[in-house]
Amino acid sequence: MNTFLIILVLVLAFILLAIYFIKKNKIKDDNGNLIPDVIEDTIEETKIKIDKTKKFIKAKKQNIKTAIEESKDVADAIKEVITQSKDVVDALKGKPVKKTNQPRKKTNKK
């Protein structure tokens, strides 16, 4: 309990000392709210940095999502190439080729 009281007295003394220096114009406080301008400026700068960081993180998350989607598309394409290359090998060996669900492109012969 004594430790709590000591800390409370020290905080109170610090606040009173800050108010004294503000009143004596040793610490700048233009708006008269008894909060030093240095602290107010630091808080505003910190808020701006936090907002910029949030925007940066949001953009990076979106980039990562896009990269994951694209890598899935590439993986699907690679699987399709592997499947088709097996069909080509089978066709070269004379085995019947599996029919796919994909329609063949029509060619115009004259």
pLDDT tens digits for range 39-86: 899 999 999 999 999 999 999 999 999 999 999 999 999 999 998 888
Asked if residue 32 has pLDDT above 90, the reply is: no
Mean pLDDT of 10-24: 89
| 103 pLDDT more than 60 | no
Residue 93: how many other CB atoms lie within 10 Å:
7
Q: How many residues does the chain have?
A: 110
Between residues 106 and 94, the one the model is more confident about: 94
Q: What's the CA gap between 57 and 47, in Å, rounded?
A: 15
Rounded Cα distance, 35 and 110, in Å: 88
Residue 30 contacts residue 37 (beta carbons within 8 Å): yes
Place of tokens 């592997």: 82
Please report the pLDDT score of residue 110 as a whole number: 45
Q: Please tell me the distance from the alpha carbon of residue 13 to that of residue 19, in angstroms, as a whole number.
A: 10
Residue 101 pLDDT > 80: no
